[in-house]
């Protein structure tokens, strides 16, 4: 019996049949979704709430490398990074649309894998995939995802609301996705020089998953709602803690103090950083793609946040005149500097 996988060329189906194949397993779950795929546009009823909308564009060779990025993981990640932006507004994601640019080197089964990852992410967060587009690409695979969320007007959280003496908090741990990427890049170089060698990935499942299959932090939104806490500001960590903290400081017109010893870093991140001779704090501050949530709350919420599963207090907001600073366990404060993504 042959193990060879079936390969159906895209031209065998054509655009409309391809759309049917990719969307046949979509099930709608949100009452705000009036009409999903199958018409010229989706129809959404916000049910008296405010609508938040966010879009991300992913380019092969810039945002992902298919040498080590499985298509199902890529589809999952493409959805998750958008849902993270919705949660960062203290809103609930309800719908997404997806657009794909694809070249002839991909087949129908490849796109089904991609969609399987997308639909899994949607299912886990109760989100409806309600539309999108497919087109030809001459420059590799491209993905564009738009996420739509709903929230009560008085619950929406912006970057601009942080106040002096607010606590600075973060979910999860930082730097692990960056170290997962560094491991994959190292093994890619080894493979290019000697394709016979097997990659050395054992013991590093956690940081690999953090990079290849990130999770949007819905749990925090649930916990904050249960505790009747509305953050004064919030942002998701896509470009590194330094960059995102400076966004909040600029938008809110404040300064900050981040205590280095309080920045959460996983032991596997420490292990990989030591192996590659990288400072784990540099990875946490500037690595990016963690998709954790950075938020501020009034100081009187200290005990609630301190007891909250998956959240940690790492600093506090100060007057703008004091600047944005990192505070080491010993020694003088140093300026917080962003070293995130720049336009080429």
In degrees, rounded to 5, the angle at the alpha carbon of residue 298 between the alpha carbons of residues 295 and 304 is: 80
Query: Are 88 and 293 a contacting pair, CB within 8 Å?
Result: yes
Average pLDDT over residues 91-105: 93
Sign of the Cα torsion 37, 126, 292, 65 reads: negative
Top-ranked range on mean pLDDT: pick from 57-71, 92-106, 185-199, 212-226:
212-226
Q: What is the pLDDT of residue 136?
A: 87
Q: Higher confidence at residue 134 or residue 35?
A: 134
What SS3 state is found at 27? coil
Query: Are 32 and 94 a contacting pair, CB within 8 Å?
Result: yes
pLDDT at residue 127 greater than cutoff 60: yes
Alpha-carbon gap, residue 270 to 126, rounded angstroms: 34
Q: Higher confidence at residue 81 or residue 5?
A: 81
**pLDDT tens digit string along 216-228?**
999 999 999 999 9
- Count the Cβ atoms, other than its own, within 10 Å of residue 58: 16
> How confident is residue 344, by pLDDT bands cut at 50, 70 and 90?
very low
Alpha-carbon gap, residue 24 to 121, rounded angstroms: 16
pLDDT at residue 265 greater than cutoff 90: yes
Rounded to whole angstroms, the maximal C-alpha distance in the chain is: 72
The percent of residues in the chain predicted with pLDDT above 70, rounded, is 90
Q: Higher confidence at residue 62 or residue 29?
A: 62
**pLDDT tens digit string along 2-38?**
455 787 776 666 665 666 666 667 677 778 877 666 6
Half-sphere exposure of 284 (CA within 13 A, CB side): 26
Alpha-carbon gap, residue 272 to 22, rounded angstroms: 38
> By C-alpha distance, which of 160, 143, 179 is closest to 288?
179
Alpha-carbon gap, residue 37 to 128, rounded angstroms: 10
Q: Higher confidence at residue 24 or residue 175?
A: 175
Q: What is the pLDDT of residue 208?
A: 97
Query: Are 242 and 154 a contacting pair, CB within 8 Å?
Result: no
* Exposure letters 62-75 (e unless 16+ CB within 10 A, then b): ebbeeebbebbbbb
Top-ranked range on mean pLDDT: pick from 36-40, 49-53, 153-157, 294-298:
294-298
Q: What are phi and psi of 44, to 5 degrees?
A: -130, 130
Per DSSP, 198 falls in state: P
Alpha-carbon gap, residue 85 to 294, rounded angstroms: 11
Query: Are 36 and 131 a contacting pair, CB within 8 Å?
Result: yes
Tokens of 31: 């009452």
Q: What is the pLDDT of residue 17?
A: 67
Q: Higher confidence at residue 154 or residue 338?
A: 154
In total, the chain counts a number of residues equal to 344
Query: Are 170 and 314 a contacting pair, CB within 8 Å?
Result: yes
Residues 6+ apart with CB under 8 A from 263: 170, 174, 241, 281, 284, 285, 314
pLDDT at residue 1 greater than cutoff 50: no
Q: Higher confidence at residue 88 or residue 10?
A: 88
Picking from 162-176, 188-202, 211-225, 288-302, which range would have the lowest pLDDT averaged per residue?
Answer: 188-202
Domains and CATH numbers, the chain: 12-151 (3.30.1330.10), 167-335 (3.90.650.10)
Residues 6+ apart with CB under 8 A from 258: 168, 241, 245, 314, 315, 324, 325, 326, 327, 336
The number of angstroms, rounded, from the C-alpha of 116 to the middle of its chain's C-alpha atoms is: 18
Query: Are 143 and 78 a contacting pair, CB within 8 Å?
Result: yes
Q: What is the pLDDT of residue 132?
A: 85
- Mean pLDDT score across all residues of the chain: 90
Q: What is the pLDDT of residue 6?
A: 81
Q: What is the pLDDT of residue 294?
A: 98
Alpha-carbon gap, residue 342 to 123, rounded angstroms: 33
């Amino acid at each position: 019996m042959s193990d060879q996988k079936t390969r159906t060329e895209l031209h065998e189906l054509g655009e409309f049949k391809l759309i049917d194949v990719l969307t046949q397993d979509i099930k709608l779950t949100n009452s705000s979704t009036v009409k999903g795929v199958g018409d010229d546009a989706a129809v959404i009823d916000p049910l008296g709430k405010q609508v938040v909308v966010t879009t991300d564009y992913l380019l092969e060779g810039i945002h992902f490398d298919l040498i080590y990025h499985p298509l199902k993981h890529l589809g999952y990640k493409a959805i998750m990074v958008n849902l993270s932006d919705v949660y960062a507004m203290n809103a609930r994601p309800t719908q997404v649309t997806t657009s794909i640019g694809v070249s002839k080197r991909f087949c129908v089964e490849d796109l089904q894998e991609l969609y399987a990852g997308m639909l899994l992410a949607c299912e886990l967060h109760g989100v409806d995939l309600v539309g999108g587009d497919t087109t030809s690409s001459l420059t590799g695979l491209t993905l564009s995802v738009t996420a739509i969320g709903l929230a009560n007007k008085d619950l929406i959280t912006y970057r601009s609301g942080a106040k002096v003496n607010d606590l600075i908090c973060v979910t999860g741990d930082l730097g692990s996705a960056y170290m997962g990427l560094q491991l994959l890049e190292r093994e890619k170089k080894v493979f290019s020089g000697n394709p016979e060698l097997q990659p050395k990935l054992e013991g590093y499942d956690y940081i690999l998953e953090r990079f290849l299959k990130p999770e949007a932090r819905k749990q925090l939104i649930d916990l904050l709602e249960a505790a009747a806490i509305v953050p004064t500001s919030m942002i998701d960590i896509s470009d590194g803690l330094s960059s995102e903290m400076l966004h909040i400081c600029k938008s809110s017109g404040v300064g900050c103090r981040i205590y280095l010893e309080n920045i959460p870093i996983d032991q596997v991140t420490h292990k990989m950083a030591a192996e590659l001779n990288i400072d784990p704090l540099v990875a946490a501050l500037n690595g990016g793609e963690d998709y954790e949530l950075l938020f501020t709350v009034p100081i009187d919420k200290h005990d609630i946040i301190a007891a909250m599963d998956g959240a940690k207090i790492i600093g506090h907001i100060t007057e703008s005149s004091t600047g944005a600073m990192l505070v080491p366990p010993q020694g003088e404060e140093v300026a917080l500097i962003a070293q995130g993504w720049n336009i080429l």
